Amino acid sequence: MLSTVLDQYNYAVVIILMMTGLYVVFASRNLIKKLVGLSIFQTSVFLLYITIGKVSGGQPPIVESHGSDHGNLEIPLVASISEIDSVIQSSSEVLYSNPLPHVLILTAIVVGVATLAIGLSLVVRIREVYGTIEEDKIEEFDRIYYKEILEGQ
Amino acid sequence: MNLMSIFSQWIIEQGPAFLIVLPLLMGAVTAVIPNKGMAWWITFFVTIICTYTAFSLFQHVYFDSFLLYTMGGWNPPHGISLIVDGLSAPILLLISVMAVLTVIYALPASISEIEPKKRAPFYAAFLICFAGLMGMVITGDAFNVFVFLEVSSISTYALVAMGAARDRRSLAAAYNYLIMGSIGATFFVIGLGFLFMETGTLNMAEMSDILSELDGGSRVSKVGYGFIIVGLGLKIAMFPLHTWLPRAYAYAPTKITIFLASTATKAAIYLLLRFTFTVFDPSFDYIAIMLKYLIMGVAIVGMAFASFQAIFQSDVRRVLAYSSVAQVGYILLGIGIATSSGLAAGYLHLLNHAVIKGCLFISVGAFWYRFGITRVNDFSGLFKTMPLTMGAFTLGGLSLIGVPFTAGFVSKVKLILAAAEQDMWWAVLVIVFSSVLAIVYIGRIILFAYFGTPPKINGSILVKNEAPLMMLFPMWTLGLMSIAIGVNAFGIGDSFVSASEIAASVLLGERG
């Protein structure tokens, strides 16, 4: 039992980070802290994807030409991905890690940064308008403010 | 071969990429353009061109079944493919038509809603949101779905927050939407990760082949499906996950509410259909269980509960927002039944509801534009001051209730028949009950407007003050459309019904 957990400690880290992040998002009433929680939550997914890409015993996925004709690239330019496949298959029994999840996660990181930027700029605007970033106070201010408007009519 | 046929051939060949690239590119142009008045024209023409393209594609797949576009000439499964078929084409057409109508409405509405210096960025964000929605629907690559989902979501957060010029609560609403939306998108991407673990591919068609070879796959793909359904459920505003929706709809600028209500949740429902029925398969035991107990369960509870909540709202936009949650329940019920008649009914209701809610939100926006009112009590006597706008609102309202000769009636009857086919009389009962509740919450507004006395401002009764033509045009287009579907004028009703039947046959794998 313990050894399986230790073998897959990546997943344990992912789960701990994920739950921490989600808990912070839901439990905290401070707008900045919520965004921190959201970032932790998103980061756990990056780790999950990178874990998927790892092939045990796999090398970095860079095609090299081996042997005496080192330097003479047999296929200098590949015209399509299917050719890359054949190069990789013919090139040997070398085991490569899967590069695709890393590429995906680069995209997801950019998405995460954009979300965080929008979130932070919203918090800045909220603080300009309300003078606070505590959710409870914002709700209270709104209740008072709009009650006055309605009574004014 | 004349020039016209070469052009239409080119549109069919390059159209799928065009639908995404054009709005994205022009979004960037709109953001930096110095002449602010140009922004509206650019947005208008882009949406018109996209509508034309989407219509050509729709016509093509309506008769010819299937269109595959390989991005950059890289063949699937390695490259990213765009897919237009009987399922995605109607939604593409729906999104672009709604975008055109929203943009027409936006010109007068922007005067009072958006500060002059923010108008060009507003249209830029709108175009990017539009591109994201189109991308979500058209792509055949699972990870690409996530990217476009976030492209449309992130621009939506900014657009909702632009309501702050008129109602400061929109900031908190946008923040809340951002938190919920990001959690949803992250859940979705976790689900994709599990699917990638199981199948080793991101191409939806290949994923589907591998999963059916594995007969549904191991626990990994079950967990993956669970994450995907929760993630999409947040975007759809599936019943217990709908809490962000009423606030976002009520406080966003009115034109964004129109666009979101009629397209954003619809695109997410499309994704749910795409993943449940074509990537996974309803013949897997866990999908069948999910459809029967989870989707149908939340549909039934959501229909009854959200309709009930709509009755007690004092703000008309919140009434309509809760009603949207209830209508999502109808659509999900059709999906949950999962027979070809159930799916067709759910899909038809999806299209009809977009038309109906677009009409209702545009007329509410026009009331706000003229008098700055959104509360039910303020609607008193509005029929006397704005008869044409109230007329369109009434058409939409009747259609929402499901009165005969309207769009809502057609799809609700189909839904009831589909439920009755499966002997689900309790579902029929809930559909009828929820429609009765709709009579209460829509009827309350209409009664106020027709029989109440017009409000007095500064001691004098308001005079007749109709909405501008640019608002009347989109609202009556949609209002008359819902009647046209109901009475099958010009064959519009039949083409909607047959589009939904084609979509259902694509979902069940009977067509291309």
**pLDDT tens digits, one per residue of B4-54:** 888 888 888 888 888 899 999 998 888 888 777 788 888 999 999 999 999
CA–CA dist B149, B85 (Å, integer): 20
CA–CA dist B183, B160 (Å, integer): 18
The pLDDT, as a whole number, for residue A75 is 45
Q: Which of A107, A21, A74, A100 is nearest to B149 (CA)?
A: A107
Amino acid at A50: I
Using CB atoms, pick whichever of B75, B179, B202 lies closest to residue A38: B179
| Averaged pLDDT of chain B | 87
The answer to whether ipTM exceeds 0.90 is no
* H helix intervals, B278-339: 285-289, 296-311, 316-337
Q: Which residue of A lies nearest to B174 if distances are taken between CA atoms?
A: A122
Query: What is the SS3 assignment for A110?
Result: helix
The pLDDT, as a whole number, for residue B1 is 61
> Residue A96 forms beta bridges with which residues?
A59
CA–CA dist B348, B334 (Å, integer): 10
Contact between chains at B157 and A22 (C-beta distance less than 8 A): no
Interface of chain B toward chain A, CB-CB under 8 angstroms = 74-75, 78-79, 143, 146-147, 150, 154, 157-158, 161, 164, 168-169, 171-172, 174-175, 178-179, 182-183, 185-186, 189-190, 193, 196-197, 202
Structure tokens at B327: 């209508």
Taking contacts as CB-CB distances below 8 angstroms, the residues of chain B near A100 are 202
Report the alpha-carbon angle B434-B338-B190, nearest 5: 95
Min distance B409 CA to chain A CA atoms (Å): 38
Contact between chains at B164 and A125 (C-beta distance less than 8 A): yes
For chain A, what are the domain ranges?
A: 1-53+98-153
Q: Which of B442, B110, B380, B378 is nearest to A149 (CA)?
A: B378
> Residue A30 forms beta bridges with which residues?
A134
Contact between chains at A114 and B154 (C-beta distance less than 8 A): yes
Taking contacts as CB-CB distances below 8 angstroms, the residues of chain B near A115 are 150, 154, 178, 182
Q: Which residue has the tokens 């993943």?
A: B275
Query: What is the SS3 assignment for B141?
Result: strand
Mutate to test the interface with B, among A39, A104, A120, A136 (most CBs of B within 10 A): A104
CA–CA dist B194, B192 (Å, integer): 5
Residues 48-107 of A with CB under 8 A from B: 48-49, 52, 80-82, 100-101, 104, 107
The pLDDT, as a whole number, for residue A89 is 56
The enclosing H or E element of B68 equals: strand B66-70
In words, the CATH class of domain A1-53+98-153 is mainly alpha
Q: Which of B346, B184, B192, B173 is nearest to B253 (CA)?
A: B173
**pLDDT tens digits, one per residue of B194-243:** 998 888 888 888 888 888 888 877 888 889 999 999 999 999 988 888 88
pTM of the complete model: 0.90
Within 10 Å of residue A16's Cβ, how many Cβ atoms?
Answer: 11
Contact B441, B343 (CB under 8 A): no
Taking contacts as CB-CB distances below 8 angstroms, the residues of chain B near A119 are 157, 175, 178-179, 182
Cβ-defined contacts of B486-489 (< 8 Å, 24+): B486/B399, B486/B404, B486/B405, B486/B406, B486/B407, B486/B408, B486/B409, B486/B410, B487/B405
**pLDDT tens digits, one per residue of A51-69:** 888 777 777 777 665 555 5
Contact between chains at B150 and A111 (C-beta distance less than 8 A): yes
| A42 close to B (CB below 8 A) | yes
A-B CB pairs within 8 A amount to: 82
Min distance B247 CA to chain A CA atoms (Å): 13
> Residue B267 forms beta bridges with which residues?
none
Contact between chains at B182 and A42 (C-beta distance less than 8 A): yes
**pLDDT tens digits, one per residue of B362-419:** 999 888 888 777 787 777 777 777 888 888 999 999 999 988 888 889 899 999 999 9
